[in-house]
Amino acid sequence: MQFLFRYANPHNFMRLSGAVLPFFALATVLCLAAGLYLGFSVPPDYQQGTTIALLFIHVPADVVAEAAYGAIALCSLLSLVWRHPLSDTAARAAAPFGALFTALGLITGALWGKPMWGTYWVWDARLTSFLLLLFLYLGYMALWNAIEDETRAARAAAILALVGVVNIPIIKFSVDWWSTLHQGESIISGKIAPVYLWPLLLMMTGYMLLFATLWLIRIRTAIMERRARNLMQGGPA
């Protein structure tokens, strides 16, 4: 906690994030390049053929889409309990990326579904819950934008994010109960062949780093924006 509070100070945060940002960006590029190279040179799957390559773009997007909501929820909790303005900024900055990765997951999933399932869209459990996740992101961002007073907007959005966290497992369960076609997970249970696993893990790390890099940039931009505004109003930077 003590560590967290030290970097909740925008000044310290700017120093630390400025120092690590180039390394994050470099690691992102390396992971994505290696992952894409390996991913597109794997042997065709016995069932899916060459469309297996889409796996390396699709699955990491979905993982990041969910992780981003987790990040928002964590920031919201920190903001509601300890009232750190920086965690509000961080939560707000993560939302568009969450929505973007959710959309990316849906689009790549549809492109994969056409040759494999014979249709772009099926009302399957996993697809439907991701569509709902996209709407949750959109609602969250809309609430942020609708309330003018920034402190109130932050706290309202934080409450909504936490309500969403309680609700997401229930939505997931209810949608699963409703219909299922999407294949189950194959990574933790070890059902995936190692030749596919390595590029997938590389791509997942790459996507996570990409999200982290973009997120840091967006938080930094928001902080600088606020400083600029304060300066224009004649206050302290």
Q: How far is the CB of 124 from other proteins (least distance, A)?
A: 14
For 147-183, give the secondary structure using H, E and C.
Answer: CCCHHHHHHHHHHHHHHHHHHHHHHHHHHHHHCCCCC
State how far the alpha carbon of 32 is from the alpha carbons of 78, 100, 112, 194, 237, in Å: 31, 18, 20, 18, 37
Name the amino acid, one letter, at 200.
L
Both tokens of 178, joined, read 């409703």
- Specify the residue, 20 or 146, whose C-beta has the smaller distance to other proteins: 146
- Specify the residue, 17 or 174, whose C-beta has the smaller distance to other proteins: 174
Under the criterion CB under 8 A, does residue 224 sit at the interface with other proteins?
A: no
Paired residues of 45 in beta bridges? 49
Chain residues 163-182 in contact with other proteins, contact rule CB under 8 A? 163-164, 166-167, 170-171, 173-175, 177-178
Chain residues 98-157 in contact with other proteins, contact rule CB under 8 A? 132, 135-136, 138-140, 142-143, 146-147, 152, 155-156
If you ran DSSP here, which 8-state letter would residue 43 be given? Answer: P
Q: How far is the CB of 99 from other proteins (least distance, A)?
A: 13
Angle at 165 between CA 219 and CA 197, to 5 degrees: 75
Task: Reduce the DSSP state of residue 124 to 3 states and report it.
Answer: coil
Binding residues for other proteins, how many (CB under 8 A)?
Answer: 27
- Specify the residue, 70 or 139, whose C-beta has the smaller distance to other proteins: 139
Task: Reduce the DSSP state of residue 49 to 3 states and report it.
Answer: strand
Paired residues of 49 in beta bridges? 45
Q: How far is the CB of 175 from other proteins (least distance, A)?
A: 7
Rg (CA), the chain: 20
- Specify the residue, 40 or 178, whose C-beta has the smaller distance to other proteins: 178
Distance CA 150, CA 152 (A): 5
Under the criterion CB under 8 A, does residue 217 sit at the interface with other proteins?
A: no
Q: How far is the CB of 94 from other proteins (least distance, A)?
A: 18
Under the criterion CB under 8 A, does residue 30 sit at the interface with other proteins?
A: no
> What does residue 23 show for φ and ψ, rounded to 5 degrees?
-65, -40
Under the criterion CB under 8 A, does residue 86 sit at the interface with other proteins?
A: no
Q: How far is the CB of 160 from other proteins (least distance, A)?
A: 6
Write out the residues near other proteins by the rule CB under 8 A.
132, 135-136, 138-140, 142-143, 146-147, 152, 155-156, 159-160, 162-164, 166-167, 170-171, 173-175, 177-178
